[in-house]
Amino acid sequence: MEPCKPNMPLLGDEFPEMKVKTTHGPMNIPKDLKGSWFVLFSHPADFTPVCTTEFYGFQKRYEEFRKLGAKLIGMSIDQVFSHIKWVEWIRDNLKMEIEFPIVAANDEIALKLGMLHPGKGTNTVRAVFIVDPESKVRLILYYPQEIGRNMDEIVRALKALQISDKQGAMPANWPDNELIQDQVIVPPASSVKDAAERPKKYKCYDWWFCYKPLEK
């Protein structure tokens, strides 16, 4: 049998189907999550310092993700019993109850998502996939083993994606952009007439750079 080759999904692709074992029982991802945003993040291994700080950080923002209609899912190559023991350790020693499921992945799943860290055996990179209610991959972040993720950035990106779907593009560092603060960039003009009308309808630096207030 030929070894599986990495075939990670690209932005806009449907998240690949996978039947997995988790600390909350078996799941079929993304089928079981259809109609909901979800954030799936992988970690290199249980019982490691950086991963422990990350799980603590994700759980601390669990309610924020829930209010945004998004579900959290952790993942590593470790088996379910290892995940359970690690979750117990976090509860007993750090006084934090991990409420989201943790997937026990295998090499095939990790390769499907391009998560195996080159040159580091079966360890998985710190990958983050934000997936929309239609099971489409909307954002992918990859971090090396040595650097923990910024959970606030993941929350920010999720909020920005949800708003941009309805209102327009989001500027750098939103909602604290240096030029337009939390306002939304108006989509590009589609005609000469539209371009001429832009400065009459919106605040603009030029016809191609117009913005409007964020709709609450």
Which residues in the chain are classed under CATH 3.40.30.10? Answer: 18-150
Which listed residue (4, 51, 204, 210) is catalytic?
51
Output the CATH code of domain 18-150. Answer: 3.40.30.10
Q: What is the dihedral of CA 34, 59, 159, 179, to 10 degrees?
A: -160
Fill in the DSSP letter of residue 32. G
Beta strands in 44-195 (DSSP E): 70-76, 102-104, 126-131, 137-143, 184-185
CATH 3.30.1020.10 domain locations along the chain: 168-212
pLDDT at 107: 74
Structure tokens given for 209: 């750079």
Q: Inter-axis angle of helices 49-60 and 80-94, to 10 degrees?
A: 70
Q: Read off the pLDDT band of 146 (50, 70, 90).
A: confident
Task: Dump pLDDT digits (tens) for 74-114.
Answer: 998 889 999 999 999 999 999 999 999 999 988 778 777 87
Residue 3 has pLDDT above 60, yes or no: no
204 in catalytic set: no
Q: What's the one-letter identity of residue 80?
A: V
CATH class for the region spanning 168-212? alpha beta
